[in-house]
Structure 1
Amino acid sequence: MNPEAVADVDRVPHGGSEDTSRLDFSANTNPDRPPGVAGVYESALSDATRYRDDFSAFTQAAASYVNCDASMVTPVPGGLAALRLAVAVTVSSGDRVFIPEPGFSEYAREVKLQGGIPVGIAHDTIVTADTTPNDIAAVIICTPNNPTGDCIDPEVIDAFRQRCIETDTTVIIDEAFMDFIDAPSMAGARGTIVARSLTKIFGLPGLRAGFAVADGVLGDRLESARPTWSLSTPAAAVGQYCLTQDDFVRATRERVSTERERLRTALETEYTIFPSDAPFLLLGVDTTVSAIADRSPTTKTDAVDALLAHARENGIELRDARTFETLDAHVRVAIRRPHENDRLLSVLLED
């Protein structure tokens, strides 16, 4: 991290509400958890009385989960920690890094903390970007993209990866939402660092467990740079357990796919809905939305403000997507359980 850069970098907004009285559609975490998690966590507490840096069981479970060799897996406390580690071992002061727009605000922040220069590229064209300039240190890809939800064809990513190898450009791939899709991970592919999180699919954001995957020199850098004791003992135990819960993952994928389509069909009568393979939908808000008609918004900004306020008044928290670069009149909604999604529809489509 570049000490001189820290003072000029601000924290960025995220989804997630601490108000438990509201139904939270702003965070993209699974509202369900694998059965048996509490017992695993409690059992691990007895081992938490001593220092432990052997994560071999966790890394083996992670490797099986994404189909790579266990030696390529670096355990970290969450997907964001994986992203920070990936950027730290690839970006130097003055380096340019391509990041997707719209995209997760932390990408630019992490690049800036290293003294690098984030360069926004349209999220759906970033895999065709020209990396031939010598100062392009890395390209960050998010698939499925946050906040649009669209997934990039793995074959297209692979072809781009091979071009980046020729220019010595590292491809950092955020696969935080890949768990919701039956598609191959890029974990272990040469020239890439893949960041994975257990937060989303397993519904445990407070656990802080995830991992990064890289081969060769990149993998060695990650392992050397990671903090000692980079996972708590309970996080490693619960993470290992969750990564073996195939039936839970399969059931979650089916529920999210079904409910996402149901919400899309219902909401597209009032909102512009972006195609999504993720556990959320991005909604474009117009001034004519019936749910906010009584407030008579005159601009799209007014319309988003009115919709967010309307939702809060009815016990629901939405994500203000204007915090994502290039979005000016959008909200993002998570896909939750059927009865909770019914509640969302009743509020967003209220006349």
Structure 2
Amino acid sequence: MTLAGRIGRVDDHGGSLGRAHALFPHAPKPWVDLSTGINPHSYPLFDLPATAFTRLPEPGRLAELARLAATAYGAPGPANVVAAPGTQILLPQVAALVPPGRARVLGPTYAEHARAAALAGHAVEEVRDIEALAGADLAVVVNPNNPDGRIVQRDVLLDLAAALARRGGLLVVDEAFMDVGPAEHSLASDVDSPGLVVLKSFGKFFGLAGIRLGFALAEQRLADRLESALGPWAVSGPALEIGIRALADRDWQHAMRARLQAEAVRLDALLGRFGIAVEGGTSLYRFLDLPEAGGLFTVLGGNGILLRNFSWSPAALRCGLPAGEAAWARLEQALALWKDAGAKRMKELRP
């Protein structure tokens, strides 16, 4: 299935309150935005040194960030780490590590991989079976997958990377949500192998998407090429300081994983009370696949609760975690309204 018609569509992303207002102009405010997979409990902000704003970032701070990222993510070493202003900007750079050819993306998934591969000159195709990736020059797997949480096992991915490398190809594994995924299937420790790049998002787990920080993990040869393409001072001073503090804070990370898991269980139970089964996801978002998805999206949106819908399936929705008790209460009330509206429709349809 070609992705030409999907590349660049505004509805291929969550988190747009402007789009939400256009769809539901009379919805009560503030919005409860459950359309993203961003942690609603962000890493606590702190006073930054003035030099983070007034001076160009020091190479020593970038080296410290790379060292901490290598430790936190399990990469072989800091030479395998490339820091960037978000993984988004890395996508076309990574896609350009191999000459233009056939790019295949295991989908349905995050649409920006297809757009970035096309920008790098590849002919892009979405496939549904991982076996189909073996014939690509550039293969992309999001693991855990966004939005359904699908996991591809580590040994399967390593075999695929080796097969691609033998033909001069490249496997890109986007581990944006592996902070809350099964760590045993991460390929971060394997990036010294040829034909493999692993992407890591900082903003999702740490709940600080706005600072724009992300990483590519790769063998040093590829890491050097990516760093050269990005140029000096790619990561801002404030992002460096926040990244260094957060990646070193292992206690916060451990406690947050437990909190997110508990809240995902709570969300599953709440949805289940209204007859909504959770079909997958991670502890940062839950994946729903139900015939009534359109009505649920509309009723909740009209009540100021924004879910994520998808152009590739009218039955698919993604639901993130509420940020606090007020948001939980509003979600419960909106679900009750949706359930009541459905019951009323069923009653009207009975002879």
Alpha-carbon distance in 1 for matches of 2:152, 2:235: 30
Report the secondary structure of 1:21's partner residue: coil
Alpha-carbon distance in 1 for matches of 2:266, 2:316: 20
Partner of 1:308: 297
Q: Is the 8 A contact 1:151 1:276 kept in 2?
A: no
TM-score normalized with structure 1 length: 0.82
User: What letter is aligned with 2:96?
Assistant: A
Report the secondary structure of 1:139's partner residue: strand
User: Against the structure 1 CA distance between its residues 91 and 140, is the aligned structure 2 distance closer, same or farther, given a 3 Å change threshold?
Assistant: farther
Could you give the per-residue CA deviations for residues 240-272 of structure 1, whole angstroms, max 9, x where no partner exists?
111112122212211222222332244246335
Partner of 1:15: 14
Could you give the per-residue CA deviations for residues 42-80 of structure 1, whole angstroms, max 9, x where no partner exists?
22x324323235111111111111122100111100121
Task: Pick the aligned partner of 2:56 from 51, 56, 60.
Answer: 51
User: What letter is aligned with 1:129?
Assistant: A
User: What letter is aligned with 1:332?
Assistant: R
Alpha-carbon distance in 1 for matches of 2:271, 2:102: 39
Report the secondary structure of 1:201's partner residue: helix
User: What letter is aligned with 1:271?
Assistant: I
Partner of 2:204: 200
Partner of 1:129: 132
* C-alpha displacement of 1:109: 0.7
Task: Pick the aligned partner of 1:330 from 316, 333, 336.
Answer: 316
User: Against the structure 1 CA distance between its residues 341 and 149, is the aligned structure 2 distance closer, same or farther, given a 3 Å change threshold?
Assistant: farther
Q: Map residues 220-239 of structure 1 onto 2, 5 A cutoff.
A: 220-239=224-243
Q: How many residues align?
A: 314
Q: Is the 8 A contact 2:109 2:145 kept in 1?
A: yes
* C-alpha displacement of 1:138: 1.0
Q: Map residues 155-194 of structure 1 onto 2, 5 A cutoff.
A: 155-184=155-184, 185-187=186-188, 188-190=191-193, 191-194=195-198
Q: Is the 8 A contact 1:77 1:208 kept in 2?
A: yes
TM-score normalized with structure 2 length: 0.82
Question: Are 1:60 and 2:67 matched, yes or no?
Answer: yes
Partner of 1:243: 247
Structure 1 stretches lacking a partner, 5+ long: 1-5, 288-302
* C-alpha displacement of 1:172: 0.5
Structure 2 stretches lacking a partner, 5+ long: 19-28, 341-351
Alpha-carbon distance in 2 for matches of 1:228, 1:10: 28
Alpha-carbon distance in 2 for matches of 1:316, 1:130: 37
Alpha-carbon distance in 2 for matches of 1:151, 1:130: 16
User: Against the structure 1 CA distance between its residues 151 and 345, is the aligned structure 2 distance closer, same or farther, given a 3 Å change threshold?
Assistant: farther
Report the secondary structure of 1:240's partner residue: helix
Partner of 2:347: none
Q: Is the 8 A contact 2:91 2:117 kept in 1?
A: no
User: What letter is aligned with 2:288?
Assistant: L
Alpha-carbon distance in 2 for matches of 1:151, 1:346: 33
- Which deviates the most, 272-281 or 226-235? 272-281
* C-alpha displacement of 1:27: 1.4
User: Against the structure 1 CA distance between its residues 107 and 12, is the aligned structure 2 distance closer, same or farther, given a 3 Å change threshold?
Assistant: farther
RMSD, matched Cα: 2.4
The sequence identity of aligned pairs, in percent, is: 29
Report the secondary structure of 2:42's partner residue: coil
* C-alpha displacement of 1:316: 1.1
User: Against the structure 1 CA distance between its residues 211 and 319, is the aligned structure 2 distance closer, same or farther, given a 3 Å change threshold?
Assistant: same
Q: Map residues 263-302 of structure 1 onto 2, 5 A cutoff.
A: 263-268=267-272, 270-287=275-292
Alpha-carbon distance in 2 for matches of 1:346, 1:153: 39
Q: Is the 8 A contact 1:256 1:336 kept in 2?
A: no
Partner of 1:141: 141
Q: Is the 8 A contact 1:12 1:106 kept in 2?
A: no
Alpha-carbon distance in 1 for matches of 2:7, 2:308: 22
Partner of 1:27: 36
Alpha-carbon distance in 2 for matches of 1:56, 1:241: 14
* C-alpha displacement of 1:228: 2.2
* C-alpha displacement of 1:11: 4.8
Partner of 1:81: 89
Report the secondary structure of 1:274's partner residue: strand
Q: Is the 8 A contact 1:59 1:73 kept in 2?
A: yes
Alpha-carbon distance in 1 for matches of 2:213, 2:65: 10
* C-alpha displacement of 1:180: 1.1
User: What letter is aligned with 1:146?
Assistant: N
Could you give the per-residue CA deviations for residues 178-199 of structure 1, whole angstroms, max 9, x where no partner exists?
1113504312241211111111
Report the secondary structure of 1:33's partner residue: coil
User: What letter is aligned with 1:328?
Assistant: P
Partner of 2:333: 346
Report the secondary structure of 2:282's partner residue: coil
Structure whose residues are more often helix by fraction = 2
Report the secondary structure of 2:70's partner residue: helix
Task: List structure 1 segments (4+ residues) > 3 angstroms apart after TM superposition.
Answer: 8-13, 17-20, 340-343
User: Against the structure 1 CA distance between its residues 338 and 115, is the aligned structure 2 distance closer, same or farther, given a 3 Å change threshold?
Assistant: same
